Amino acid sequence: MSRQIHIFRSPEKFLAGTVGVPGEREFYLQAADGRRVISVACEKQQVAVLADRLGSLITEVGKRFGAEAVDDPAATGPAAAGTDLTLSTPVDAEFRVGTMGLAWDGEGSQVIVELLALSDDEVNEDVVLEDADEGPDALRVFLTLAEARSFAQHAEAIVAAGRPPCPLCGNPLDAEGHICPRLNGYHRGALA
């Protein structure tokens, strides 16, 4: 079966989101354009890394090429003010993300985000951002610098919105508390 590459050149929405309560959240990345919606499942750490790397890419593009993430008041894409930053439901993942790739398209002045499906086979660098028939399924999204910055900021907020850390050990607190290693295994209640 040949691979499927879902391409969004100017999505109305590209965002990170969650389903579930803190401590049991499932993380998704979702691209939407009109009625076409593609969701992919990922790990919390992948969302955090993607946001961090996008921030680094935006900074590097600014240094090397002088391009800036300028907000356009007439924008209608993912960086537009008032854009709905919630996942479109139902959330049915096309695949689970294994490999992520980022690139800068200088000609189009766009950031390219590519998310490849988790695969048992090792994914070579030459598969990322290529349209070869062989390889894992992929979601490829083209964003302006402002849209990439907006995505990164929202993704960082999603990651940070989890359970609060225990002030003693730093491990996440559940609603019921947790067994705190700093208290020699005694139960520490949740903070109000």
Give the 3-state secondary structure of 114-164: EEEECCCCCCCHHHCCCCCCCCCCEEEEEECHHHHHHHHHHHHHHHHCCCC
- pLDDT band at 116; cut points 50, 70, 90: very high
Q: 51 vs 80, which has greater pLDDT? A: 51
Q: Which fold has domain 5-161?
A: Secreted effector protein pipB2 fold (3.30.2450)
Residues 34-72 have pLDDT tens digits of 999 999 999 999 999 999 999 999 999 989 888 776 765
Q: Where in the chain is the domain with CATH 3.30.2450?
A: 5-161
Q: What is the pLDDT of residue 80?
A: 55
Judge contact between 116 and 99, C-beta under 8 A: yes
pLDDT, average across residues 113-120: 93
Residue bearing the bigger pLDDT, 28 or 131? 28
Q: List, in order, residues 6 or more apart from 18 with CB less than 8 Å away.
A: 25, 26, 27, 28, 87, 158, 161
Band (pLDDT 50/70/90 cuts) for residue 4 is: very high
- 1 against 27, higher pLDDT: 27
137-144: average pLDDT: 96
pLDDT reported for residue 192: 44
Q: CB of 32 within 8 A of CB of 77?
A: no
pLDDT average, residue stretch 134-162: 93
